[in-house]
């Protein structure tokens, strides 16, 4: 994403950040970043009104995008996010105009010909009516799945810790069939009913089939009848990249035994060279807020400075520089929200209430920071604070080096 998140979030300064169109925009931060950036510039220049922006965003967000070798695709009330190992996660929600009983179902399928499908359901408690029903939910109570009025039994026990319940294999099979056509899908707890939308599910399932190479095979979600291709053509899983996490040594002694000294204005000028548009990427670069410089090893330093503040998000710039000439500054991100002992984190809200987030992590590998994780929590649908699910687009295996 290369800091496009921050640029899009910064646009909220220009307009009312609480308007619904902008919230929808932020809920799909990673979709077509270059195209959206151009549209935003045109909107600011020509003062395009919000209703037109909503129409433009709806068109963009129903298409697919690549994110860190993963796939993201949203259509109506469903989305699919596939990570760089080709594991695909499909998340569906209640209809957008039916927020009294928020609900989300997650279907997970790994890559490979023989991979099965796991399902989970999460009942939202953000609304008062839904919260009252959830208060009745204890370990003795299970959620029942109804499809077109037929009872497909109870889910596995609700996990209070995870906040969700696993679907049974029978329920998953019935649900996959129902989602390929118009169906009334309900999750029932006592006298309360949460209705799962089927709108957009078929398109999302087809996109998952494409990402995993299942189109035309018997293991495809869509059009499995008369499959012409063997399942042997299904793409195998890809291994997650392996990263070596090296803990920084803040007490290391500089190789030339000299203390690093540089004025704030000099640091700002140095870091400005790492950005194409510093005024946009890091508008606070030259303000009076302090620089935070810490040592990573005997020759490299980490420098931090506040970069921007939006309606409900902030971002700091983080750079790696040599402690003597040539300094060779390298920008890691202008979206950082935290740094601790060799780990950088960026967590950004999709909207003010925080029911949807994007997250990116980086770890120090001894010479540079490498991205270790990238994910979204799904659509902004009032499921719960912090988002409904973890839907990664990029995963790695991180090994601590002592």
Residue in the structure block whose two tokens are 């009942």? 123
How does residue 130 score in pLDDT terms, banded at 50, 70 and 90?
A: low
Buried b vs exposed e over 352-376: b needs ≥16 C-beta within 10 Å? Answer: eebbbbbbbbbbbbeeebbbbbbbb
Q: Using one digit for the tens of pLDDT, what is the confidence trace for 227-249?
A: 788 888 999 999 999 999 999 99
Buried b vs exposed e over 266-297: b needs ≥16 C-beta within 10 Å? Answer: ebbebbeebbeebebbbbbbbeeeebebebbb
pLDDT of residue 42: 31
User: Hey, how many other C-beta atoms are within 10 angstroms of the C-beta on 261?
Assistant: 6
pLDDT of residue 70: 85
- Going by C-beta distance under 8 Å and a sequence separation of 6 or more, which residues neighbour residue 168? 153, 154, 155, 156
- Going by C-beta distance under 8 Å and a sequence separation of 6 or more, which residues neighbour residue 205? 80, 90, 176, 179, 180, 221, 222
Q: For the purposes of burial, counting CB atoms within 10 Å of the CB of 239, is it exposed (0-12), middle (13-18) or buried (19 or more)? A: exposed
pLDDT for residue 370 is more than 70: yes
Query: What percent of the chain has pLDDT above 90?
Result: 67
- Least trusted range by pLDDT, from 61-65, 71-75, 126-130, 377-381: 61-65
Q: For the purposes of burial, counting CB atoms within 10 Å of the CB of 226, is it exposed (0-12), middle (13-18) or buried (19 or more)? A: exposed
User: Hey, how many other C-beta atoms are within 10 angstroms of the C-beta on 47?
Assistant: 7
How does residue 264 score in pLDDT terms, banded at 50, 70 and 90?
A: very high
In angstroms, the first-to-last Cα distance of the chain is 31
Q: Which residue has the higher pLDDT, 304 or 18?
A: 304
How does residue 132 score in pLDDT terms, banded at 50, 70 and 90?
A: low
Residue positions counted in the chain: 402
Q: Which residue has the higher pLDDT, 16 or 205?
A: 205
How does residue 59 score in pLDDT terms, banded at 50, 70 and 90?
A: very low
pLDDT of residue 304: 98
Q: Using one digit for the tens of pLDDT, what is the confidence trace for 136-192?
A: 555 556 789 999 999 999 999 887 777 889 999 999 999 999 999 999 999 998 888
pLDDT for residue 5 is more than 90: no
pLDDT for residue 252 is more than 60: yes
Rounded to whole angstroms, the maximal C-alpha distance in the chain is 76
Q: Which residue has the higher pLDDT, 161 or 294?
A: 294
φ, ψ of residue 298 to 5 degrees: the values are -70, -10
pLDDT of residue 83: 98
Supply the DSSP symbol for 243: E
pLDDT of residue 190: 80
Residues 354, 366 contacting (CB under 8 angstroms):
no
Q: Using one digit for the tens of pLDDT, what is the confidence trace for 325-353?
A: 999 999 999 999 999 999 999 999 999 99
How does residue 33 score in pLDDT terms, banded at 50, 70 and 90?
A: very low
SS3 call for 77 = coil
Q: Using one digit for the tens of pLDDT, what is the confidence trace for 78-102?
A: 999 999 999 999 999 999 988 788 9
How does residue 134 score in pLDDT terms, banded at 50, 70 and 90?
A: low
Report the distance separating Cα 395 and Cα 401, nearest Å: 19
């Amino acid at each position: 994403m290369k800091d496009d998140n921050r640029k899009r979030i910064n646009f909220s300064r220009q307009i009312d950040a609480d308007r619904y169109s902008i919230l929808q925009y932020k809920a799909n931060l990673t979709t077509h970043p270059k195209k959206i950036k151009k549209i935003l510039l045109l909107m600011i220049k020509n003062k395009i009104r919000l209703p037109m922006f909503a129409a433009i965003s709806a068109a963009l967000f129903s298409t697919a995008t690549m994110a860190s070798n993963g796939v993201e695709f949203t259509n109506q009330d469903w989305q699919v996010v596939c990570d760089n190992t080709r594991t695909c996660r499909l998340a569906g929600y209640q209809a957008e105009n039916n927020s009294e009983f928020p609900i989300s179902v997650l279907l997970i399928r790994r890559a490979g010909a023989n991979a099965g499908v796991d399902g989970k359901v999460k009942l939202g408690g953000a609304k008062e009516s839904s919260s009252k029903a959830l208060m009745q939910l204890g370990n003795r109570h299970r959620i029942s799945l109804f499809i077109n009025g037929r009872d497909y039994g109870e889910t596995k026990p609700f996990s209070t810790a995870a906040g969700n319940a696993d679907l049974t294999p029978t329920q998953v099979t019935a649900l996959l069939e129902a989602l390929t056509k118009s169906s009334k899908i309900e999750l029932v707890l006592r006298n309360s009913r949460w209705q799962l939308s089927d709108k957009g599910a078929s398109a999302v399932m087809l996109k998952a089939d494409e990402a995993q190479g299942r189109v035309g095979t018997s293991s495809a979600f869509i059009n499995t009848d008369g499959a012409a291709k063997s399942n042997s053509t299904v793409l195998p899983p890809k291994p997650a990249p392996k990263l070596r996490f090296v803990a920084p040594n803040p007490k290391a002694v500089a190789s030339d035994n000299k203390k690093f000294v540089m004025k704030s204005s000099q640091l700002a000028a140095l870091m400005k060279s790492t950005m194409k548009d510093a005024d946009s990427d890091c508008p606070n670069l030259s303000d009076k807020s302090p620089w935070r410089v810490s040592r990573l090893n005997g020759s490299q330093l980490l420098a931090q400075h506040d970069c921007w503040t939006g309606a409900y998000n902030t971002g700091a710039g983080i750079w790696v520089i040599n402690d003597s000439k040539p300094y060779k500054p390298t920008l890691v991100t202008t979206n950082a929200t935290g740094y601790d002992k060799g780990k950088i984190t960026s967590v950004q809200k999709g909207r003010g209430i925080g029911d949807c987030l994007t997250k990116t992590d980086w770890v120090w590998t001894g010479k540079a920071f490498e991205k270790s994780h990238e994910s979204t929590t799904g659509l902004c649908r009032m499921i719960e604070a912090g988002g409904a699910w973890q839907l990664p687009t990029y995963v790695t295996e991180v090994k601590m080096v002592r």
